[in-house]
Amino acid sequence: MDYTEIFLAESYIRNISPIFPRKLNISPKSAVFLNGLMVTHIMPSFYIFVILISLPLNALALVTFTCRIQVKKPAVIYMSHLAFVDLFFTLLLPLKIHYQLNASDWVFGEVTCRVLSATYYCYMYCSILLMMCISVDRLLAVALPITSLTWRSTRKAMCVCVLVWLLALAGTVPLLLMRQTDSIEDVGVTCHDALRHYDPTMLYYVHLFSILSCLYYFLPLVVTLVSYFTIIYVLSAKSEVSSSPSGVRRKAVIMATAVLIEFVVCFAPTNGILLYHCVHLATGGNHEETDSSYTAYLLAVCLGSASVFLDPLLYYYGSSQCRQKIRSVFWCRKAKRAKTANKLNAITAAAQYKKVDFS
């Protein structure tokens, strides 16, 4: 039996792809973390909490934006796409929860793992780009309310959203073409949790995620920071000369600050650690530091998922106009129920009247 036959036989016995001849070994520290309390209990519990809050908020917001608001302004278009992205990611979280409750042992196959991994990064970067668009749209509305009317059209907003989706898909489609599962000793089959050192694909990962972090987060971060700082400055300057209520301007400043904090807190740790992790791998850093950085990255990913329920709270439900539209959904349903009940009562009364009259 030659080397090739031994290679394939060993792969068959271990029930893994013949591309990889044997299971991977990771550090005991990494194995303990992947099987530990944080990954198997605390993080899944947080994801369950995210689902319980995000699902009704984003579903209701999406219904309101698409069905109840007739005039689709640019802000409504951006927020409807953001609500769809958050809702779609929320619906995929049960796969992540099952994976971590199962002690990081993936049972849904390679294809599903690739889809889940690509979807996460597509969600994150699509959200970031849409939030950047919302910040620029708000800046134009505040700083140039008249001049920007020709720029802030519905058609242009739709074109921008299409461009955002194309950019997010272009950045994450490569993950669908790369192997994401690995068989790990004492752990099981991991999904997007292991990277083979000295493997040709490692350099590809390093380049891909370095580009994604720089172009899809840090560049939008600069644009968003400049936009909201300018908004805060303009609103503060107007408060000295404008006769409009100061409470409205103060609330707008608070909302701008809260959105800016969410943008930084939810996405900066993930992308900062990811970029550091890539640079560390590219420069040949030791495995212990690499494992520590990836542990921090998994925690940052868990924290960043909070954006799916913070987005509706800050962008949609923080606006009095949006709250009014959302309340109209419930009032409309109540009105329909009341109308239906009145019809049934009228029919019942008419039937009873005929019965009495006949007798």
Higher pLDDT residue, 113 or 237? 113
358 falls within a domain: no
Mean predicted confidence (pLDDT) in 249-256? 82
346 falls within a domain: no
- pLDDT at residue 294 in the model: 75
Instruction: Check residue 98 and give left, alpha or beta (phi > 0: left; psi -120 to 50: alpha).
Output: alpha
Q: What token pair was written down for 279?
A: 């640079």
Q: Which domain holds residue 286?
A: 35-329
357 falls within a domain: no
- pLDDT at residue 244 in the model: 56
- pLDDT at residue 207 in the model: 86
Distance from C-alpha of 154 to C-alpha of 79, rounded to nearest angstrom: 13
Distance from C-alpha of 207 to C-alpha of 120, rounded to nearest angstrom: 18
340 falls within a domain: no
pLDDT tens digits along 160-171: 999 999 999 999
**Mean pLDDT across the chain, nearest whole number?**
80
Nearest to 34 by CA among 184, 253, 206, 157: 184
Where residue 77 sits, what CATH number does that domain have? 1.20.1070.10
141 falls within a domain: yes
- DSSP H helices, the chain, are 3-14, 28-34, 37, 43-63, 74-101, 109-143, 154-176, 200-213, 219-241, 246-282, 287-304, 307-311, 320-358
Whether the per-residue pLDDT at 336 is higher than 60: the answer is no
N-terminal to C-terminal alpha carbon distance within the chain: 99
Higher pLDDT residue, 158 or 29? 158
DSSP state for residue 114 in the 8-state scheme: H
Which DSSP string corresponds to 177-190?
A: TS--EEEETTTEEE
Q: What token pair was written down for 125?
A: 């970067």
Least confident of 17-26, 32-41, 75-84: 17-26
8 Å CB contact between 33 and 295: yes
Q: 3-state class of 339 per DSSP?
A: helix
22 falls within a domain: no
Q: 3-state class of 234 per DSSP?
A: helix
Count of domains in the chain?
1
Rounded (10°) angle between helices 154-176 and 109-143: 150
Mean predicted confidence (pLDDT) in 179-190? 83
- pLDDT at residue 69 in the model: 79
233 falls within a domain: yes
Whether the per-residue pLDDT at 189 is higher than 50: the answer is yes
pLDDT tens digits along 89-119: 999 999 999 999 998 899 999 999 999 999 9
* Most confident among 138-142, 163-167, 246-250, 290-294 (mean pLDDT): 163-167
- pLDDT at residue 246 in the model: 64
4 falls within a domain: no
Q: What is the C-alpha R_g of the chain?
A: 26
